[in-house]
Structure 1
Amino acid sequence: MFPNACHEAKELDTAGKNALNETIRAHLSKLQDRFNDYFPEKHGDDDWVRDPFGVEMESVTLPSNEESQLVELSCDRNKKHPQLSH
């Protein structure tokens, strides 16, 4: 929408530019209102996947063997900073 709008705006008079401006504002406002529909916040048990080193173990509900592996992983400085192991 916006690349074409920029090109078309050069041809518009003031009233047309104002109308285009309002159309763009309305479009952006709708996108902002619906943003969480497209990208909902993720809270829950999968936070450890994104950052296994910053997870609080109390917030994780894993089977005990997987929880033990996560504890080992989160304490392994070589995996957190691989450049330090060379």
Structure 2
Amino acid sequence: MRRQPEEEVALLTVPQIAERRGWSRQGVHDRIANDPDFPEAVLVPGSTRPRWPADAVDRYFDTHPKAQGKGGGPKPRRNQGPT
């Protein structure tokens, strides 16, 4: 992991990436752990949570779409209402 750059850059946490992509947090963690092309995390002083530059994450997902049926993507929502 690298240190946060001096200029202001929009940084995302795993839950924020998951929300933007419509994925589960575990799906994002799996992609981070298993794809060496995933952008490098940035350490923010005073925080223990890694973050990723939003522009790098967007570029990554533009060039690495989710493979159908391979996990790491959106989970179908179950109907919670009465049937």
The structure with the largest alpha-carbon Rg is 1
Structure 1 length-normalised TM: 0.22
Structure 2 length-normalised TM: 0.22
**Comparing both chains, which one has the higher relative contact order based on Cα–Cα distances under 8 Å and sequence gaps of 6 or more?**
2
Q: Select the structure that is richer in helix.
A: 1
Q: Select the structure that is richer in strand.
A: 2
